[in-house]
Amino acid sequence: MFDASKIPDDYCAIAVDFFDMQVGDWRAKRPVVLRSKCVKCGTCWAFCPTQCIIEKPKWFEANLKICKGCGICSQECPNHAIAMVEEQEG
Partner 1 sequence: MPKTIVCDGNEAAAWGACLARPDMVSVYPITPQSSLAEHLTEFIAEGKLCADLMDVEGEHSVLSVLQGACLAGARTFTATCGQGLAFMFEPYFRTPNLRLPIVMAIVTRDGITPQTVWGGQQDAMTVKEAGWIQMYVETNQEILDTIIMAYRVAEHPDVMLPVNVCFDGTYLSYGIEAVSIPDQEIIDEFLGEKNVNWHVALDPERPMAVDPLTGGGSAKGTSMFVRYRKGHCKAMQRALEVIEEVHTEYGKKMGRFYGPLIEEYRMEDADYAIMTIGSMTGAGREAVDIAREQGKKVGLLKVKTFRPFPVEAIHRSLAKVKALGVVDRSVNYGWGTGPLYQEVLAATYFLEKRIPAISFIGGLSGSDLTVENHFRRVVEVTERACRGEVPSQTIWLNEDDDKGEK
Binding site for partner 1 (CB under 8 A): 2, 4, 7-16
Q: Which amino acid is at 42?
A: G
Provide the minimum distance between the beta carbon of 8 and partner 1 in the complex, in angstroms, as a whole number: 7
What ranges in 22-89 are assigned the alpha helix state H? Answer: 43-47, 72-76
Provide the minimum distance between the beta carbon of 15 and partner 1 in the complex, in angstroms, as a whole number: 4
- Can you tell me the distance from the alpha carbon of 88 to that of 20, in angstroms, rounded to the nearest whole number? 21
Provide the minimum distance between the beta carbon of 50 and partner 1 in the complex, in angstroms, as a whole number: 18
- Can you tell me the distance from the alpha carbon of 90 to that of 87, in angstroms, rounded to the nearest whole number? 9
Q: Which is nearer to partner 1, 9 or 89 (CB)?
A: 9
